[in-house]
A = this chain, B = another copy of it.
Amino acid sequence: MKQPPSGMTEECGVAGAVAPGRQAARAVFFGLFALQHRGQEAAGIASSDGRAAYIHKGLGRVAQVFDEDNLGPLLGELAIGHNRYSTTGATQLRNAQPHLVETALGPLAVAHNGNLTNARRLRRELLEAGIGFSSGSDTEVMLRLLALPAEGEAAGDPWLTRMRRLMERAEGAYSLVVLTREAVYALRDPWGFRPLAVGALEGGGFAVASESSALATMGAGFDFEVEPGSAVRLDREGYTVHRLVEPQKRALCVFEFVYFARPDTLLDGQEVHAVRRRLGAELAREAPAEADVVVGVPDSATAHALGYAEAAGLPYAEGLIKNRYIGRTFIEPDDALRKSGVRLKYTPLASVLAGRRVVLVDDSIVRGNTAGPLVRLLRSAGAREVHLRVASPPVRHPCFMGLDMATHEELIAHNLDVAKIREHVGADSLAYLSHAGMMRAVGGGRGFCDACFTGRYPVTLEAGPAGADALVGEG
């Protein structure tokens, strides 16, 4: 299969606001704060007061990047922002978003969640037209495309004409927020891979965010999800919805339900937490276990474990504690310390585990390098048996639509069958949820992208070697 550059793959969160009479950047800050789980490596906000555009970006979490000294100068009633996640080493400020340029129509800033699958081709065309790039990101590709005048843009809002052209040309996943001098726009690709929600701000104006749950933190209600192929224009007067291209067959990322989105987010009208309990319940029906207690991997699989326990009629218990206060540390343990490694993050509770047959529920297994240590940890606290249950099917294919999972080679289920994985992690038994079971739990409604489980990608992937960023450095 053709393989796009994994270095360009990112999970991200975006937010935007139009706040008449108030500082929009402040609302956007709280939106990014609520979307922190979608990216902790960099954050940025761009704003406009109708005269100039303002921007601040930095590496780290949003609460580290922003303080009153740098948020204060982000003037204006319009703003957009971005949280960036990347598992690649490229944590450069140069790749942080939003990207901002000045154009003949005034400032233009873009923040992006997703991944274009034809970014290399579009970039090449723009380069050959004489347009220089400041970064290697597909976000800049969309920014440069939006900066180019389009035929017929004279009539009406030229930005919408350009956005239609963008949607006709770009393939892959993109939930975008765009800032111009006069408005904030929210765009969602024709497949609807990534979520994007809009709501009215208390005090007037409108907000947009990757997840509906973040709207509340921004002081907004939740009014609707942006439709695939549409752009929503937010300005001081209100909002207007523009269907720019025909939607494609719906392909909402099913992994948002399994793991990625916040439990309180509504996707296609369903609460993510409730879906997760159903995933656990389906799993209990498909793969019961003779056991005494059900334990989830905190915090991401707690809901799945509760659902499993309930459906299985087994007691649920906290058998693993996640250390709340640790962050990343760059201190290397010595040999004697190395053995205690996983205990930095998780602690087993002997009072729950000792002498018991334990069902350990996880939401998914991707690379497979935490399951083994967790099984050993449970046994070290006295668990008699450990039955590992995974509330989604085996992940056998990489994501090219914006989730930075892994390459084929890194996916344990690409390399090993279930029996071998069980052996590898050392569990007494192992079962995954079936694809059909997952679809029952998510409520098959409007169509999902499940390519990481099935290899059936909704869009064609670009061929060729990875187009590495040829510009390196900060400043």
Contacts and interface: CB of A to CB of B under 8 A. Distances in A.
A154 interface: no
Contact of A216 (B331, B333, B340): B340
Given A37-B324, A56-B473, A321-B262, A22 B348 contact: no
Which DSSP category, helix, strand, loop or mixed, fits chain A's interface?
A: mixed
A66 B40 CA distance: 20
Interface size class of A (residues with CB under 8 A): 35 or more
A417 interface: no
Given A217-B343, A318-B303, A337-B26, A131 B147 contact: yes
B101 A130 contact: no
B470 A334 contact: no
Nearest to A305: B318
21 contacts: A37-B324, A46-B473, A51-B470, A55-B473, A56-B475, A66-B329, A71-B331, A73-B472, A104-B128, A104-B130, A108-B132, A130-B131, A134-B134, A203-B336, A217-B343, A262-B347, A264-B347, A264-B350, A273-B318, A274-B349, A310-B315
A30 interface: yes
Nearest to A204: B336
Nearest to A42: B475
Given A52-B469, A264-B321, 19 more contacts: A19-B336, A33-B344, A40-B325, A52-B471, A55-B471, A55-B472, A57-B475, A63-B326, A64-B327, A71-B331, A73-B472, A102-B132, A104-B130, A202-B339, A203-B334, A219-B340, A306-B316, A306-B318, A316-B316
Copy number in the complex reads: 4
B22 A336 contact: yes
Closest 6 CB pairs of A and B: A101-B132, A57-B475, A203-B336, A274-B351, A130-B148, A36-B325
Interface in A260-285: 262-264, 271, 273-274, 277
A224 interface: no
A128 B471 CA distance: 26
A398 interface: no
Contacts of A318: 263, 273, 302-303, 306
Nearest to A101: B132
Nearest to A75: B472
Nearest to A104: B127
Contacts of A129: 149
Contact of A321 (B27, B62, B273): B273
Contact of A66 (B323, B331, B343): B331
Contacts of A149: 128-130
